[in-house]
Structure 1
Amino acid sequence: MLSDIEIAKNAKLKNIYEISERLEIPDDYINPYGKNIAKISHQYYDKIKDKKDGKLILVTAITPTPAGEGKTTTSIGLTMGLNKINKKSIVTLREPSLGPVMGIKGGAAGGGFAQVLPMEDINLHFTGDIHAITTAHNLISAVLDAHIKFDNELGIDPTEVFWKRAMDMNDRSLREIIIGTGGKANGVPREDGFIITAASEIMAVLCLSRNIEELKEKLSKIVIARGYDKKPITVGDLKIEGALALILKDAINPNLVQTIENTPAIIHGGPFANIAHGTNSIIATKMGLKMSDYVVTEGGFGADLGAEKYLDFVAQNYNLKPSTIVIVATIRALKYHGGMKLNELKNESLENLKKGIENLGVHIENMKKFNIPVVVAINKFYSDTDSEIEFVKNYAEDKDVFVSVNESFEKGSEGAVDLAQKVVNSCNKNNEEKMTFVYQNTDELEVKIEKIAREIYRAGNVEFSINARKKIKFLKKYGYDKLPVIIAKTQSSISDDKSKLGAPKGYEFTVRDFELSAGAGFVVALAGDIMRMPGLSKVPNAVNLNIDNSGNIEGLS
Structure 2
Amino acid sequence: MNDRSLRQVIVGVGDRNTGILANDSYVITPASEIMAILGLSTSYQDLKDRLSRILVAFSEEGKPVFAKDLNAQGSMAAILRDALKPNLVLTTEGVPAFIHTGPFGNIAHGTSSILADRIALKLADFVITESGFGSELGAEKFFDIASAVGDLQVSAVVIVTTIRALKHHGTNAGNKDGNLSDLEAGFPNLLRHVNIVRKFNFEPVVSINVFTSDTDEEKQKLAQLLELNNLKYAFADFFSQGGQGGLELAKKVMESAGKKDTQIKRIYDPKEKVRSKIEKIATMIYGASGVQYTDQAAKDIRQIEKLGYSGLYVCMAKTQYSLSDNPKLLGSPEGFSVTIKAVNIAAGSGFLIPMLGDIMTMPGLPEVPAAENITLSDDGEISGLS
* Distance in 1 separating the partners of 2:262 and 2:97: 29
Letter of the 2:191 counterpart: G
Of 149, 172, 180, the match for 2:12: 180
Q: Percent identity?
A: 44
Call closer, same or farther: CA 1:383–1:440 in 2, change over 3 Å.
Answer: same
* Distance in 2 separating the partners of 1:241 and 1:383: 51
* Distance in 1 separating the partners of 2:208 and 2:381: 34
* Distance in 2 separating the partners of 1:174 and 1:188: 18
Aligned position for 1:535? 364
Q: What is the CA deviation profile of residues 440-488 of structure 1, one whole-angstrom value per residue up to 9, with x for unaligned ones?
A: 2222211111111111110011121221111111101111111110111
* Distance in 1 separating the partners of 2:308 and 2:342: 17
Report if the CA contact (8 A) 1:312-1:437 is conserved: yes
Of 389, 409, 430, the match for 2:219: 389
* Distance in 1 separating the partners of 2:233 and 2:376: 42
Call closer, same or farther: CA 1:550–1:379 in 2, change over 3 Å.
Answer: farther
SS of residue paired to 1:246? helix
Letter of the 1:524 counterpart: I
Aligned position for 1:481? 310
Aligned position for 2:254? 424
SS of residue paired to 1:214? helix
* Distance in 1 separating the partners of 2:208 and 2:384: 27
User: Are residue 400 (structure 1) and residue 219 (structure 2) matched?
Assistant: no
Of 287, 290, 297, the match for 1:458: 287
Aligned position for 2:135? 303
* Distance in 1 separating the partners of 2:125 and 2:248: 18
Aligned position for 1:507? 336
Call closer, same or farther: CA 1:440–1:549 in 2, change over 3 Å.
Answer: farther
User: Are residue 445 (structure 1) and residue 277 (structure 2) matched?
Assistant: no
Report if the CA contact (8 A) 2:163-2:218 is conserved: yes
Aligned position for 1:352? 182
Report if the CA contact (8 A) 1:380-1:407 is conserved: yes
Residue 401 of structure 1 deviates from its aligned partner by: 2.9
Letter of the 2:78 counterpart: L
* Distance in 1 separating the partners of 2:157 and 2:379: 44
Residue 398 of structure 1 deviates from its aligned partner by: 3.5
SS of residue paired to 2:361? coil
Query: How many aligned positions are there?
Result: 386
* Distance in 1 separating the partners of 2:113 and 2:11: 34
Aligned position for 1:472? 301
SS of residue paired to 1:400? coil
Call closer, same or farther: CA 1:471–1:402 in 2, change over 3 Å.
Answer: same
Report if the CA contact (8 A) 1:273-1:299 is conserved: yes
Call closer, same or farther: CA 1:224–1:287 in 2, change over 3 Å.
Answer: same
Residue 176 of structure 1 deviates from its aligned partner by: 1.2
SS of residue paired to 2:155? strand
Residue 545 of structure 1 deviates from its aligned partner by: 3.6
Aligned position for 1:245? 77
Q: How does 1:206-225 map to 2 (within 5 A)?
A: 206-225=38-57
SS of residue paired to 2:303? helix
* Distance in 2 separating the partners of 1:552 and 1:288: 37
Call closer, same or farther: CA 1:543–1:312 in 2, change over 3 Å.
Answer: same
Aligned position for 1:32? none
Letter of the 2:108 counterpart: A
Indicate the larger mover: 545-554 or 389-398: 545-554
Of 322, 343, 352, the match for 1:493: 322
SS of residue paired to 1:456? helix
* Distance in 1 separating the partners of 2:231 and 2:382: 42
Aligned position for 2:192? 362
Residue 555 of structure 1 deviates from its aligned partner by: 4.1
Of 102, 105, 117, the match for 1:285: 117
Report if the CA contact (8 A) 1:223-1:519 is conserved: yes
* Distance in 2 separating the partners of 1:341 and 1:433: 37
User: Are residue 375 (structure 1) and residue 205 (structure 2) matched?
Assistant: yes
Report if the CA contact (8 A) 1:373-1:427 is conserved: no
Q: How does 1:79-228 map to 2 (within 5 A)?
A: 169-228=1-60
* Distance in 1 separating the partners of 2:13 and 2:123: 54
SS of residue paired to 1:395? helix
* Distance in 1 separating the partners of 2:378 and 2:202: 52
SS of residue paired to 1:229? coil
* Distance in 1 separating the partners of 2:244 and 2:252: 14
Residue 258 of structure 1 deviates from its aligned partner by: 0.6
The RMSD of aligned alpha carbons is 1.5
Report if the CA contact (8 A) 1:336-1:352 is conserved: yes
SS of residue paired to 1:498? coil
Q: How does 1:333-352 map to 2 (within 5 A)?
A: 333-342=165-174, 345-352=175-182
SS of residue paired to 1:510? strand
Call closer, same or farther: CA 1:547–1:320 in 2, change over 3 Å.
Answer: farther
Report if the CA contact (8 A) 2:40-2:149 is conserved: no
* Distance in 2 separating the partners of 1:257 and 1:422: 26
Report if the CA contact (8 A) 1:273-1:300 is conserved: yes
TM-score by length of 1: 0.67
Residue 323 of structure 1 deviates from its aligned partner by: 1.1
Of 240, 245, 263, the match for 1:410: 240
Call closer, same or farther: CA 1:503–1:550 in 2, change over 3 Å.
Answer: farther
Report if the CA contact (8 A) 1:359-1:502 is conserved: yes
Aligned position for 1:259? 91
Call closer, same or farther: CA 1:522–1:347 in 2, change over 3 Å.
Answer: same
| Ranges in structure 1 where 5+ consecutive residues have no aligned partner | 1-168
Residue 428 of structure 1 deviates from its aligned partner by: 1.2
Residue 423 of structure 1 deviates from its aligned partner by: 0.9
TM-score by length of 2: 0.96
* Distance in 1 separating the partners of 2:379 and 2:196: 50
Letter of the 1:398 counterpart: L
Call closer, same or farther: CA 1:332–1:554 in 2, change over 3 Å.
Answer: farther
* Distance in 2 separating the partners of 1:386 and 1:291: 40
* Distance in 2 separating the partners of 1:170 and 1:466: 29
